Structures are given as C-alpha cells and as structure tokens.
Amino acid sequence: MSLFEFIMVLTSILIGLGIAELLNGVVRTIRTDFKERYYVPQILWAVFLFLHLITLWWSRWDLRDTMQWNFFQLLLSLTAPVLIFILVSLLFAENVHARVHYFKHRVIFFTLLSLVLVVDILHETIVEGTPFLSLDILITASILGMVVWCRFSKRTRVHVVGSAASLILLVLFVVYNSYLLH
C-alpha cells in the first residue's frame, strides 16, 4: 500500500461519514411532523456541503503522485472532512422548526464553515501547490466572503442569497476544474 492510498483510506472514511450524516439528516427532516420542516438556506447549504465533500474526495486524486507527506499536510487533508461532518450534524433540526434551528446555530455553523474554507485555501496552496493568486483560490475566497456575510446577518434574504451564491460559486469551481481523472 502506498502512502497516498494509506492517507486516502482515512480521508475516504471521514468523507463517507459526512455523507452518511447528511443523508441521515435529510431522512430525519422528511420524517419530522413539523409544518416547517425545512428552510431554503438550510437545503442550499446541505447541497453545498454534499458537493463540497464530493469535490474534496475527487480532488484528492491529484495528490496520488505526492511521494512525501508530513504530519501538517495530513492534518490539513483531514481537517475539512472532519469539520464538514460537524457542520452537517448542526445543519438539520431535531424537534424544532427548521428556521428557528438554523438561526440558533448560525454563528457556530458559519464560523466552522469559514474555518473549512480557510483550510481549503491552505490545503490548495501548501499541499497541492496551487498559486495563491489563482482562480481556484479566488472562488474559494469569494465563497468565504459569502459565509462571513451570513455569519454576521440575521436577515433571511442575506441567507438565501449567500447560500445560493455560494452553491453557484462551488459549481463554477467544479466546472472550471472539471475534475477529470487521468
């Protein structure tokens, strides 16, 4: 087993746990008896986090030729999936209206999501070697701006626009990189 395969096993497990928690949250939301079982920004952030987990896993393939890893690089590779698992766990309501739950956990959710995006930028530049002034980093920084905006706002319109714009930017990131395996 190569070092890349060894690291990818743990990374894949963490990403898989995040996806499982997200799907479990969707099922719990469907099963709830509350009239307001979902909130549009909550659904958009769930799609965003699902796509983010998939792109994390898919983009790790680019590291297959990395011969040497250090502990800091390993931590950077594992931090985002761990934080996204926590984010997904916070996203879905338990026995409360979705909008109330969303705004109750808004500050911690967007603080952690900001941290994920900062880790993404660090991972891209340090582990993957992406130039700091690249379109990838610019898109991630733009999403970070939306997330910070949502963190400090209690207005529904800000959260709808912020979540939709972040999802669109993430889709553009995926399209730009096209993530084709070679």
pLDDT per position as a tens digit, 146-158: 999 999 999 999 9
Q: Give me the percent of the chain exceeding a pLDDT of 90.
A: 62
Model-wide pTM > 0.85: yes
Tokens of 13: 């497990």
d(Cα 6, Cα 57) in Å, to the nearest integer?
Answer: 14
pLDDT confidence of residue 179? 58
Whether pLDDT at 67 is above 80: no
Q: Name, in order, each residue with C-beta under 8 angstroms of 119's C-beta and a sequence gap of 6 or more.
A: 76, 79, 80, 83
Nearest alpha carbon to residue 63 among 13, 24, 25, 6: 6
Domain locations along the chain: 3-177
Residue 166 burial class via C-beta count within 10 angstroms: exposed 0-12, middle 13-18, buried 19 and up: buried
pLDDT confidence of residue 182? 43
pLDDT in tens, 163-175: 999 999 999 999 8
pLDDT confidence of residue 114? 98
Nearest alpha carbon to residue 41 among 93, 79, 83: 93
Whether pLDDT at 181 is above 60: no
Q: CB of 80 within 8 A of CB of 123?
A: yes
Q: Name, in order, each residue with C-beta under 8 angstroms of 98's C-beta and a sequence gap of 6 or more.
A: 29, 34, 36, 37, 38, 39, 42
Q: Give me the percent of the chain exceeding a pLDDT of 70.
A: 97
CB atoms within 10 A of CB 43: 16
